[in-house]
Structure 1
């Protein structure tokens, strides 16, 4: 492995294919940041976003492919919700190991590997999608698509180490928002295929992504860097698990990201089942499914930027209150059979969940940055050591919260499945979502905002 100083670029013909390690990285030093750090961090952010974006598209691939599964596949709506829940579950489970892989193998190295791994579920989907394929085979192939969900955790842990505390909300919001855009983009790809080739050609959707995956892996190999300061410390997760704020933030992430990814996977099916007359063909549903995830993805960096300015907890509690209002709107629309009101409420939920994703993630480094400052103020810890410990623990919590939050998407899909099975509509699921948002609002206020609560700077 070749080590290079910050900002240096390979100059030999063979240098670009060798692993690059930055030996000097001090993002909190403003002179260092202005001279070289910002440029290097931005370059890594760009290629991290590209890889994560493709990962999200592959992860949510089956939210599109189920729209192609007509009567000839003999799968009922409940079976389709299961098909979308499985990749969500595997993606959630992989987020913890993917977080630690960055420290073990290097951010650049792991991004190359994880991006290349996306070829497996994409090729498998292209091979098996045809009438007559067994439901068990579809379940197995859909589950493998969960590897795309792990890319988020490793990408966030890596970018967290590149940016100074004052810019983390923006950087993590941009990284996650750019990745989240993979959800509406794959849905637009599915719409294009449905509108041109028709529902008989689902294989064209994964085919589009094969060259993009190769380009993402190649870009990471040539343009990203490793940070040796990201040491794989097994104690970090144990320390984070013992931190009460870790579980609070994980709960909030269930409410924000769990909603975003769960709705993103299920929305097309919800429209087809609940409004059968208006969406009697897959292409009609596909025209609308991308809009909510698109707005949610674009809102994520806005949430991070607002959290940088006003505090993560303030933006998060406001987001949950508005999400509760959006859920009430959906409930009213469902009871009245009003499609325009239903769409307005759901699109608002998507946008607000994206906003909350950004503000909640801003809270993660804020917790450990506050701990680092307190340790330095007590006089028992060197500032550099305290800052490194804060970054290490923040990366661990990114993995933990990301995994727990992604399981919220599994719960969303199973809530819809059970609601449609038992009462024939989504109302039972909407009541459950309303209860979760009310709980998250109360918890955020009680822990971070109520008078007398211990305030954390950045919260």
Structure 2
């Protein structure tokens, strides 16, 4: 932030922390840990509400039935979900860059208050079924504001924890946010059960006071870090690194699958198997619950076993799961479909945790390479930590585009064949590609291991790649 004279605005006050060095074990044990955890819990609350608002239309489309005056087709509903997902993905880029500009606490407060906009839009739309579809898409798209919260939250929390604990901390932060997808579906299920499917407007109304509560929590408990500065050109230049694009593809496979199927699961049950809203909502809530709760476990497994190993096995299992889903759709076996989806959500949760652990680890390894090449240690660590925080958010933005692809593929498959089986076949093929990339880039060891300096994530061209993901 700069003043009118062009000088940087002072970063002082009770919410600003001037010294922060979590890698210093003495500082971490005496001062850092309680402060980091306090910020983490408040961050989780805000991100949770953000995810709930982002995914609110995955519930509200279940209320949009002819009996209540809606004439929207399944193809239109998939398109609406795609637009909401797209806006959330795109907003993750500016949200990531906002953290060093405004401060983590300040931006969390601002972004939480902004969630009142899509909440009000949803409240209006559910009560007005005659709204033109183009206007419905425009207003529903504001729910994408909730999708941006994830990247700013992850970029902020990444700066608080030492490298040895980031897998667990980022997993908790992300998992606590991701479970917002399930929470909003539970709210929708409760509304249908208590007030029938004609009371969809109560879902956004329920979230209005929670948004205010989350903003108050952030004001009361969070901090801004003075040493997290804005260097947007340098941060964006990291997108030239091949690991940015590789990890983005992998995160499309894990998080894109989680958010895309999380949004679409209830609609799939309704459109593919003919379930009524309360049946679809009751089943659909299980998937996001599983995927969200298991995400920290994926981060912990990555801490212990290596992120690339966990990610490889996740993608192979996801490919098998996609094959089972094709068979379930073709045979119209609801039980098999739901069971395979439960496994798929478990795998996406594990993969979300393991891939996000890989990102800061790769850049930590690059810092060690720079130090070995003569760069001052503090300078190298500060630069790569700043880059890793940005990459967490930017890769999160690209990964969320996978959710757009999921819903667009569902829409096209349903429109062309009346079945989603072709979509699941395409997903299975993509998961195999992701598994191959993970193995070839981060696990395959060269036939001859010659000493070398940094090659992107380790000390030797192939063998040390796994070091960067542990």
TM over 0.5: yes
Matches within 5 A, 1:316-395: 316-379=311-374, 381-395=375-389
2:407 is the alignment partner of 1:409? no
- How far residue 145 of structure 1 moved from its aligned partner, in angstroms, is 0.4
Correspondence for 2:195: 197
Matches within 5 A, 1:132-151: 132-151=130-149
2:282 is the alignment partner of 1:287? yes
Distance 1:312 1:28 in 2: 21
Matches within 5 A, 1:298-309: 298-309=293-304
Q: Is the 2:253–2:402 Cα contact (8 Å) retained in structure 1?
A: yes
Q: Is the 1:236–1:396 Cα contact (8 Å) retained in structure 2?
A: no
Correspondence for 2:422: 428
Deviations 1:121-144 (A, max 9, x none): 001211232232222221111100
Matches within 5 A, 1:82-101: 82-101=79-98
- How far residue 329 of structure 1 moved from its aligned partner, in angstroms, is 1.2
Correspondence for 1:223: 221
- How far residue 237 of structure 1 moved from its aligned partner, in angstroms, is 3.1
Query: How high is the TM-score relative to the length of structure 1?
Result: 0.94
2:112 is the alignment partner of 1:115? yes
Query: How high is the TM-score relative to the length of structure 2?
Result: 0.92
- How far residue 350 of structure 1 moved from its aligned partner, in angstroms, is 0.9
Distance 2:235 2:224 in 1: 21
Q: Is the 2:19–2:226 Cα contact (8 Å) retained in structure 1?
A: no
Where does the alignment leave 5 or more consecutive residues of structure 1 unmatched? Answer: 5-17
Q: Is the 2:11–2:226 Cα contact (8 Å) retained in structure 1?
A: no
Distance 1:236 1:410 in 2: 28
- How far residue 429 of structure 1 moved from its aligned partner, in angstroms, is 0.3
- How far residue 242 of structure 1 moved from its aligned partner, in angstroms, is 1.5
Q: Is the 2:158–2:389 Cα contact (8 Å) retained in structure 1?
A: yes
Q: Is the 1:19–1:108 Cα contact (8 Å) retained in structure 2?
A: no
Q: Is the 1:49–1:179 Cα contact (8 Å) retained in structure 2?
A: yes
Deviations 1:338-393 (A, max 9, x none): 111111111111110011001000011111101111111122x1111111011111
My pick for the range that moved more, 321-330 or 41-50, is 321-330
Moved over 6 A (4+): 1-4
Correspondence for 2:160: 162
Q: Is the 1:19–1:226 Cα contact (8 Å) retained in structure 2?
A: no
- How far residue 2 of structure 1 moved from its aligned partner, in angstroms, is 9.1
Distance 2:313 2:88 in 1: 28
Correspondence for 2:179: 181
Where does the alignment leave 5 or more consecutive residues of structure 2 unmatched? Answer: 1-8, 447-461
Distance 1:458 1:57 in 2: 33
Distance 1:121 1:454 in 2: 48
Q: Is the 1:230–1:392 Cα contact (8 Å) retained in structure 2?
A: yes
RMSD between superposed Cα atoms in Å? 1.3
Distance 2:11 2:412 in 1: 54
Q: Is the 1:19–1:109 Cα contact (8 Å) retained in structure 2?
A: no
- How far residue 19 of structure 1 moved from its aligned partner, in angstroms, is 5.7
Is the alpha carbon distance of 1:110 and 1:238 closer, same or farther for their aligned partners in structure 2, counting shifts above 3 Å? closer
Specify the SS of the correspondent of 1:304. helix
Specify the SS of the correspondent of 1:201. coil
- How far residue 239 of structure 1 moved from its aligned partner, in angstroms, is 3.0
Correspondence for 2:413: 419
My pick for the range that moved more, 239-248 or 431-440, is 239-248
Distance 1:398 1:35 in 2: 28
